Copies of this chain bind each other. A is one copy, B any other.
Amino acid sequence: MSHTLGIRQAQKQKTRQALLDAALGLLEEQSLSSLGLREVTRAVGVAPTAFYRHFRSTADLGVALVEEALGSLHPMIRTTVSTTGDHEERITRTIELIARHVDGYPAHVRFIARERHGGVQPVREAIRGQLARFAQEVKEELAEDPVSEGWSEDDLLMLAHLYVDQMLITASLFLEALEGPEEEREERTRQVARVATRQMRLIGLGRHHWLD
């Protein structure tokens, strides 16, 4: 299915990616709703009108960014939450995965956190859709766990949502630690990991006693 595309299409995708990258960079200090199309093209070094060859509007670009930021994350989620290893170990593994991801893609994480409740409706909906998929996947993994015996589908989904939201909050806290002054960074990161671990542990406890 990977038919090596011609010089023409390759160049197009290259500028498209350059637009996405530039936008993501500019969004570090503003929201999508204030991002101008000219601003983006200027940062890339192409004419303003070139923008229309790739996106209908900045909102459209935002939706593409959601896909880039969350689309490739699904397999990672499944393997991480999957039923291997002791319960406590699964928690530390998850927290570490989040920390590593925030470290590797801080701009993507910030974008999602910022635009999840942001001022651009289509983008909000795109994020909501992706997060719903995450919750669904987490739910399916939870169902595999023997601890979930006797749980209703509804309760599994409500727990999955709790986990997903918790992971997002943790990611955003890691990001804040990362953005702070360098001399506090390490300590704050450790602190976030410590608190998040305990919160996950507490939720896990509630889970084990749910059917009492």
Residues of A within 8 A of B (CB): 27, 29-34, 110, 113-114, 116-119, 121, 155, 158-159, 161-162, 165-166, 169, 172, 195, 198-199, 201-210, 212
Copies assembled: 2
Instruction: Given the known inter-chain contacts A158-B198, A162-B202, A195-B161, please indicate yes or no for A118 contacting B31, CB distance below 8 A.
Output: yes
**Contact B205 A119, beta carbon cutoff 8 Å:** no
Instruction: Given the known inter-chain contacts A30-B33, A195-B158, A209-B205, please indicate yes or no for A113 contacting B119, CB distance below 8 A.
Output: no
* Other-chain contact of A118, B114, B158, B172, B202 (Cβ < 8 Å): B114
**Contact B206 A159, beta carbon cutoff 8 Å:** no
Provide the residues of chain B in CB contact with A33, threshold 8 Å: 30-31, 33-34
* Other-chain contact of A119, B31, B155, B212 (Cβ < 8 Å): B31
Provide the residues of chain B in CB contact with A202, threshold 8 Å: 159, 162, 203, 206-207, 210
* Other-chain contact of A162, B172, B199, B204, B210 (Cβ < 8 Å): B199
Alpha-carbon separation in the docked complex, A198 to B153 (Å): 13
Alpha-carbon separation in the docked complex, A198 to B113 (Å): 25
Alpha-carbon separation in the docked complex, A204 to B209 (Å): 10
Provide the residues of chain B in CB contact with A114, threshold 8 Å: 117-119
- Nearest B residue to A196 via CB reads B158
Q: Least Cβ distance of A163 to chain B in Å?
A: 10
Alpha-carbon separation in the docked complex, A29 to B59 (Å): 13
Provide the residues of chain B in CB contact with A207, threshold 8 Å: 202, 206
